[in-house]
Amino acid sequence: MAAERRTSAELRVWRRNLYTMWVAQTLSIVGFSFTAPFLPLFLRQLGLTTTDEVIWWSGLMNVGSGLVMAVSAPLWGAIADRYGRKPMVLRAMFGGAVIIGLMGLAPNVAVLLGLRLVQGLLTGTVTASVALIASITPRERLGFSLGLMQTAVFTGSSLGPFIGGVTADAIGYRQSFALTGALLGVAGVLVLFLVHERFDRAAAAGQGGAPLFRGMFAPLSNPLLVSLTVVIFLLGAGTMGIAPLLPIFVEQLAGSAQNVASLSGATFGIAGLTGIPRSRGSRRRATRRWRARSPGRRRRGCGRSRGSRWRPARARPASPACC
């Protein structure tokens, strides 16, 4: 009885962690996509006059931030293996809150570019959140949990640009950056106080006395993982390649400078909405597939057999190709 009560309590903690992370991830993605509809338009307020300059600088900021994030993600993953996943989520959310809030105070495009590069260095909430959920989730619920987190990404990607565009037209670009920072700050506070991770730092640090970054790029020896990384990179490049152009293109189609951010945000948001049904479907298929393969384990308490202890799935931090 005591073991069953303990297991039931552990499952309650897992559910609270999962749903809290879903809310926090949604808020963070809303925040990070908040500025997409008006960032190229904001560059004009910083002194750029021609459309070619706006497109060039906007593309440079997106590429620079993404490259820095791709390089730094394995480093943060190695640190997560040693010190825990929750600190990495807090780093990404609170770091993003401060940096994006400061973007509203940027006096010129050079300072804004520098802040975007720092944003790429400190953030990466998707990778950090997926790694945390994968490490604290029962193995039989892993597909459901990761699918739910993917739903948070698509939900935030659809709501963020729309709300950001409307907000920018209503209160201005600089104030919208401050609101973005506030959203990320709220997400970080939720994770700080409501998400619990049991991580033995002493055991992690004492595993063979291995250096912190040893084997950091070992997963690249797996051809399947390399192929998957390339595919995700190409998909991301194809979908995000138009981000610097879309607000300018919408402005040209509208023939007016009024409410351009709102129209751009609606365009971004529609693209995000199309991914929500896919993520829900993949979540359900993953859960059914696991149950079909393990019919003897489908018992009360998320598939555990009587007397067995609940064990979270073990997983390394996700690939840097994950935004």
What's the predicted TM-score (pTM) here?
0.79
> What pLDDT is stored for residue 294 in this prediction?
54
8 A C-beta contact, residue 264 and residue 42: no
> What pLDDT is stored for residue 274 in this prediction?
66
116 in a structural domain: yes
205 in a structural domain: no
Angle at 152 between CA 146 and CA 153, to 5 degrees: 95
CA distance 296 to 293: 9
262 in a structural domain: yes
* Residues in CB range of 230: below 8 A, 6 or more apart: none
Structure tokens at 251: 């402005």
100 in a structural domain: yes
**Counting beta carbons within 10 angstroms of the beta carbon of residue 194, is it exposed (0 to 12), middle (13 to 18) or buried (19 or more)?**
middle
181 in a structural domain: yes
187 in a structural domain: yes
> What pLDDT is stored for residue 5 in this prediction?
59
Provide the strand spans (E) within 32-140.
Answer: none
Structure tokens at 226: 């390399």
> What pLDDT is stored for residue 204 in this prediction?
66
**Residue 107: domain span:** 2-196+218-296
**Counting beta carbons within 10 angstroms of the beta carbon of residue 111, is it exposed (0 to 12), middle (13 to 18) or buried (19 or more)?**
middle
145 in a structural domain: yes
CATH number at 146 reads 1.20.1250.20
Domains of the chain: total: 1
> What pLDDT is stored for residue 302 in this prediction?
43
233 in a structural domain: yes
Residues of the chain with pLDDT under 70: 1-6, 203-218, 239, 256-257, 271-272, 274-323
